[in-house]
Amino acid sequence: MKLHSFFITPNNRKVEAFIKHYDLPVEIHQVSFKDQEHKSPAFLKMNPMGKVPVLEDGDFYLPESNAILTYLARKFPETDSLPTDIRGRAQADRWLHWQSCHLMPAMGELKQAEDKDFDILVPLFQVLDGQLAGRDFMLDKLSVVDFAIGAYLMTKMARGLDYSPYPNLAAWRDRVMRLDGFVKTHVKLPPAA
């Protein structure tokens, strides 16, 4: 199995962190953005969107980071990282969709904005803080959801935010940052020239 990735972005890092955390037998191939490898005909056969990550499992190609996480969780059930009961699974899906539909667009908008108004994150952080009250992880125990959301709160921009008004979120973020998978995928970039 092979993951086509570009380590620096949260959608890729969440999958790389999951693979490394559970030491899964998945080769990680870093796509060359510089050479536009992700727009090549061979790559577009795997993902016509021309985006990473993509998981290659034999003749099966799967784009979309959260779909990859749940596929890997089911392929390797020993990770015990995705609930199997109908309601638990629905809650996992709910938070994965929340990450793609609410957290990612807000973070993306902020990244582009010249005058950064971080207030856009307040309702989202309040929701996370509420969910994490009395819980160590988003779904009580470690799951794909912690990887999906965690990666977004470890970007360069997210590292500069003040989490002190959200104590449950702050404690969870510290906990998740210390997971093996995130430690192993932490990249220190040189300061911009």
Ligand X SMILES: N[C@@H](CCC(=O)N[C@@H](CS)C(=O)NCC(=O)O)C(=O)O
Binding region for ligand X (CB under 6 A) out of 62-70, 117-125, 168-176, 181-189: 62-70
What residues from 77 to 106 belong to the interface with ligand X (CB under 6 A)? 100
Sheet with 60-63, side-by-side order of all strands: 27-30, 2-5, 54-57, 60-63
Binding region for ligand X (CB under 6 A) out of 8-16, 158-166, 167-175, 183-191: 8-16
Answer for which of 7, 9, 56, 127 binds ligand X (CB under 6 A) is 9
Contact (CB, 8 A) for 183 and 53: no
DSSP tag of 135:
-
Q: How far apart are the first and last CA of the chain?
A: 37
Q: Supply 13's token pair.
A: 């890092």
Answer for which of 4, 55, 62, 65 binds ligand X (CB under 6 A) is 65
Binding region for ligand X (CB under 6 A) out of 17-25, 44-52, 71-79, 177-185: 44-52
Binding region for ligand X (CB under 6 A) out of 5-13, 18-26, 69-77, 153-161: 5-13
Residue with tokens 């977004």: 152
Residue with tokens 């638990």: 88
Answer for which of 26, 52, 139, 154 binds ligand X (CB under 6 A) is 52
Answer for which of 13, 55, 64, 98 binds ligand X (CB under 6 A) is 64
- Residue 120 CB-half CA count within 13 A: 16
What residues from 98 to 157 belong to the interface with ligand X (CB under 6 A)? 100
Q: Does residue 50 touch ligand X according to CB under 6 A?
A: yes
Residues 6+ apart with CB under 8 A from 174: none
Asked whether the bond before 25 is cis by omega within 30 degrees of 0, the reply is: no
Answer for which of 11, 70, 131, 185 binds ligand X (CB under 6 A) is 11
Residues that bind ligand X (CB under 6 A): 6, 9, 11-12, 38, 50-53, 64-66, 100
